[in-house]
Structure formats: C-alpha cells, structure tokens
Amino acid sequence: MRRALSSAAVPMAVVGALIVIVLAVLVVTASGSGGDAYRVRAIFMNAFSAVPGEDVKIAGVKVGKIDAIDLTKDHRAAVVLDIQRTGFKDFREDAECTIRPQSLIGEKFVECVPTAPRPEGAQPAPPLRKIASGPGKGQYLLPVDHTSQPVDIDLVNNIMRLPFRERLSIILNELGTGVAGQGAALRQAIRNADPALKETDKALAILAGQNRVLSQLAVDSDKIMAPLARERRHVAGFIVNANTTAEATAERSSALSQDIAKFPEFLRQLKPTMAGLGAFAGQATPVLTDLGKAAPNINTFFESLGPFSKEAVPAVDSLGNALDVGRVALVKSKPFIDQLNTFGMAANPLSANLDAFLTSTKSTGGIERLMDFLFYSVASINGYDSDGHYLRADLIVNLCSTYALTNSIDCTAKFQQPAEGSARAASAGGAPRAESIAKALGSDPPAPPAAQPAGGGSAGASQSLLDYLLGG
C-alpha cells in the first residue's frame, strides 16, 4: 500500500512543478508586456536580413531587441523595437536608426540615436508621435526618413558574379524605364542605401539656412584677400619667417616643454597679482576719469610748453656760460671746502653736546626760566613812585662823552699807573672839566672853587656829581 502511494505521489509532484513553472512564465510575460512597455515602430525601406530577437543598441549598449517585423501598406518594413532599459525610453523626433551587421555570418542589429546632440541650454526636440489607432496602436512612430540600411559588402561583391552581373546589366539598361515617374522613391532609396548622402543633405540644408552669412563671408573674404594679394610678397616673407621660427622652436622643444610645464604654476602665482591689479584698476577708475576731464588743460599746457622752451634757450645758453665761470670758482673754493669739512668734523662733538643742551633746555623750560630771571631781576632793581616805575641807572658824564676831533689821552681804554693819571689830571686842571660837565648837563658852569688843600678839589667835584645824580 505504501509503495502504491509513493509511486502515485511522484507523478503528482512533477505535475505540480510544471504548473508552478508555467505560472512563473506567465507572470514574467505579463510583467514584461505591462503598461510601461516602450516600443518604437521604425519604418525601413527594407529589412531583408533582420529577424525578431536581434539586439537594439544605443552607443554600443544593448537596450532592447527586435520585437516584430511587419509590412506596411506602401510595401515598406515596419520594425518594432522593444526598448527595455528605462533610461532610454525617450526617443525624439530627430532620432535615427540604422541596421548594421553584427558579425561576418550575417547577423544584424539595430543601432539607434534617441536624439541629436544639441548645444547646452537649447530646447530639446519633441518626443515621437504615439500611434493612436490602426497597425501599431500604442507604439511610437519613427518615419522612414529617419532610418537607413547600408548595403553590405557581400552584396556589393555579388554583382561581380554570375548571374548577378547579368542581372545588374539588365537593371542598368532598363533603369530609365523602371524609374520613370518614381524619382522621389529612387531618391529616398539612394539616401537610405548610403547614410553619408543623408548626412550630406543635412549639411547642405544647414548651409542653405545660412546663405546670408555665407554671402557676407564671401564679401568679407574678398575684402580680406585684396590687401593680402597686394602685399603677397610680405605674406610670403611671413610664411618663410614662420617656417624659420617653427624650426627654431622645434630645436628648443625640450626647453619649450619645460616652459609649458611651468606655465600652470606661473598662472597660479599670477592670479593674486592679477586680482590686485583688478582692484587697483577699480580704484584707479575715478582718477583716470578725472584725468580724462583734465586732458584738455594738459594738452594746452604741453602746447604752451613749446614756445616756453624756445624762449628758455637763451637763458639755458647763459646758464652754460655761467657754469664755465662757476666751474673755475668751484675749483678754487676746494681748499676752503676742505677746511670747512675739517672744521665740521672737529665741531661734531661740540654740536652733539650743544644739541643735547638745547634739547634739554627746551624740554625742561630753561629758556622760559631765563626770561623769568631777567624779568624779575630788572623788576627788582627798578624804582617805583606815584608816577609809576622808573629805571635806576648811572649816567657817566665826563670829557669822553662829547664828540672830539682829536684824541684825548684821558679817554683811552688803556690801564695806567695811578701816579701818571693823577699828574695828567692835575696838569689838565679842574675848571675845564667842570665846565664840560655842566655844559653836558645843560646847567650853568659852577663858580671857580676856592683854594683848597692839595687833593681836595677832586673829591669835591666827585661829591657834587654824585649828589646831582642821586637827587641830593
């Protein structure tokens, strides 16, 4: 009984495993054909060597496969491309697809460009139009003018073999009849047969859109070439010199490469300097603006400087003549200058001490104190009465105070012996001196003194003069 049950359980397990595998396949298929599928319906002139299941690549990366191949009403091949990688499900109206050989045994693959390169910031092309109804509903249509299929090299070689060679001859002979009225179709076939022709058409279309620029370029080129043609000898010389320069540069290529290697470091060190120069330029702008405003006055100054320079020529000539005389004087004054130099070197210690003394006197107020001393000293010896201050002074009035035409021996500034002076005074007599004193003071002359003992006259005269000076 157990053997029967065990033998019956084995087929049941196999059937269950098959059911699980089938369900898994259905789930995977359902997920693969879900709502996020992205299929491109690319229309080719023919796709005789392409089969479903072959790769679809973008820039060498496999992004999907050929899902199906249909025939359109106008007898063209509709190749359905199943794009499976999410990052490439965005074909634009400028997309391109072509069928290329993948190996030498005849396998093919479809290479696509989702959108043409555009400059940074340019508006991208619109997305492909989605088919709303009919064949290929829900797919994105890529028209035939955006597809191509290059002719394989083996097909080109086949035209040299029989019977393809004879067939080609018949085609060429009957080409005019065959393509009569089919010029557009023939043109489209040739363009799809050679992508280079399609790219040429694009380049010509771009040039046609720039016809005004090209015409202006031709005009400007003519203006540029005319001076060059006129100076063709100089242009030829420039080319020869450029060749010589290139040869010299090639000989110093190692040094030049070292300079180029050091150039980035030079630029790095130059950057702070240029930043400072830029700041200086910004700060110097007002100065240069003011200088521009003052430019007319500066021009006037320089224009007036010409006549002034002409008038200054005689003065400069005279100065040259004076220099000739002054050179002799300078040569003769050299001994005096040497002595003055010697005196200056000898007076250096005295000057240092004098500088220290005067500096100390100034900083400590010595000058002010000296002036105070003089002021208070004079104030202390002055007299004061009801009328104010008066200065006490002795007025020396003698024979030497008056103007005389002859020198008197008593008025000399030499020291003499007392006996000699007394004798001379006695010989001169006292009366004339008294008269001179009285005349100098503006008073009447005194009466002649009475006879006195020897030596008494001199003492009396001195006492009278003192009494007069002191108010006695």
pTM, two decimals, is 0.36
Bridge partners, residue 76, by sequence = none
Task: Summarize pLDDT for 81-131 with one digit per residue, the tens.
Answer: 999 998 899 999 999 999 988 877 778 899 999 998 888 888 899 999 999
Lowest mean pLDDT among 181-185, 194-198, 209-213, 305-309: 194-198
The closest of 470, 398, 404, 411 to 440, measured between CA atoms, is: 398
DSSP 310-353: HHHHHHHHHHHHHHHHHHHHHHHTHHHHHHHHHHHHHTHHHHHH
Q: Which residue has the higher pLDDT, 44 or 28?
A: 44
> Which residues are within 8 A (CB) of 111 and not within 5 positions of it... i.e. 6 or more apart?
57, 58, 97, 98, 99, 100
Instruction: Enter the tokens of residue 379.
Output: 């104030």
- What's the confidence (pLDDT) of residue 2? 42
Contact between residue 164 and residue 158 where contact means Cβ atoms under 8 Å apart: yes
Question: Do 96 and 59 touch, CB atoms closer than 8 A?
Answer: no
Query: Strand 147-148 to strand 383-385: parallel, antiparallel, or no bridges (unpaired)?
Result: unpaired
Task: Report angle CA 97, 101, 106 to the nearest 5 degrees.
Answer: 135
Determine the residue type at 132: A
User: What residue ranges do the domains of the chain occupy?
Assistant: 34-149, 154-203, 212-251, 399-447+461-470
- Cβ-contact 45, 77 below 8 angstroms: yes
Q: What is the mean pLDDT of the chain?
A: 78
Q: Write out pLDDT tens, residues 364-399.
A: 888 898 898 888 887 777 777 777 777 766 666 666
Q: What is the DSSP string of 159-175?
A: TTSTTHHHHHHHHHHTH
CA distance 142 to 47: 15
Side chain identity at 464, as an amino acid letter? Answer: S
H/E stretch holding 388 reads strand 388-390
Residue 144 pLDDT exceeds 60: yes
